[in-house]
Structure 1
């Protein structure tokens, strides 16, 4: 992916120099995340408790590079969706802010940590991302490469697009009134649509921005496969339990990303009206 020296978004909020990074970061965060995945335990409360115990953190060159990469990728999503959303949905695109943190921080949707992974919070319209997640993807999940990391950013931006279209709010309203199994099933459809929108972003990045290089698409598709619910459960030593899925299987995530990439059409990403995902 061609990203060095390109325009960076002004919508990045960097919280990494605060107390959270002094308490637990780097390898420690990765280890805690893997423990949580293996045991099915959310370790966010522990990370949040540690948040205030450290001092100011000195960021490494790799940390600074990751922040620059995220800012460039976010800028690309802004340029792409500023064209696509008015053209295909008749609506102006509102750029979300992206909060960088390390270890743990707070959002309007609750605690954010490496255990929760990157997420979009509709309550404050912001994306939360610990760049150590990129390390986890590469070293522990087998999903390395800069375009794989860009796919993660694009996926969370896609949730902002869903929010702006009213899709996310309506889906979450229905989820709140549904059983746990039904809620999980709706969550899968939300996530797969975000994967499809991410594919639309990748297509535009390739055809209009010219930033996609040979092998980049394979990196994104591999990332989609490696973070499927069935693969994560299997790799954590747990039995695969479809009724607990919240993001979709590896096959589904890869297929819907590719559908967005091949079509470039938001109408093809309607995961809520299809019977077979």
Structure 2
């Protein structure tokens, strides 16, 4: 692999982007005038897709940058950007000698997409490096509610027990109705997750906020309404309360919270004798 760059009078270098979207689609782009095929991956020519100034150091402070380009490539569509298919996509950036692609790619940046915006026929996105994860709180804060993600690390429950593949019956501005659940057990899906696995919205996810009878209410409805018969994966939810963990799931031993911790109102109480 080539390790020295920009040391020739005339360089033959192209910048590559490898994108893995949250819906499972992987795409490659090259800041070049023609497609490049490297390691069985096609990097589509996108000469107008360029980052802002790239700054790198050996510190731990996050170094963010931006990327922008024209919505002229068939693989970068405005409706996909606005639907959230590109949100939090994993990104790799590298350099390659387009005359000698067999020498391999020198990857120099890894991260993910942050905020994505569309203005007219151009898009702009924030690129966040791996060091941005170090901004997250390290020590957990005491809380009466559970800190673990439902069926995630620390919870101990199997996600497969709470997944249901069901077809859509109807959709309107109030929410969605599926073949299941019925009104009597729709509350099991409050605080849950919906992932489309069929239809035009396949791969997109939404949080289930609550229900009204058999109608599931989402945090965001797709711009284009889904069609009856579209398949969705519904994941039951948890309100992270100790009573729910103990009574509904029988999982109190794995509860990651302090349900009996006194609240701040304890400080304002008068002593009684």
The TM-score bracket by the shorter chain reads under 0.3
Q: Which has the higher contact order (CA 8 A, sep 6+)?
A: 1
TM-score (norm 2): 0.24
**TM-score, normalised relative to structure 1:** 0.23
Q: Say which structure is richer in strand.
A: 2
Q: Quick check: which one's helix share is greater?
A: 1
When Rg is computed on C-alpha atoms for both structures, the one with the higher figure is: 2
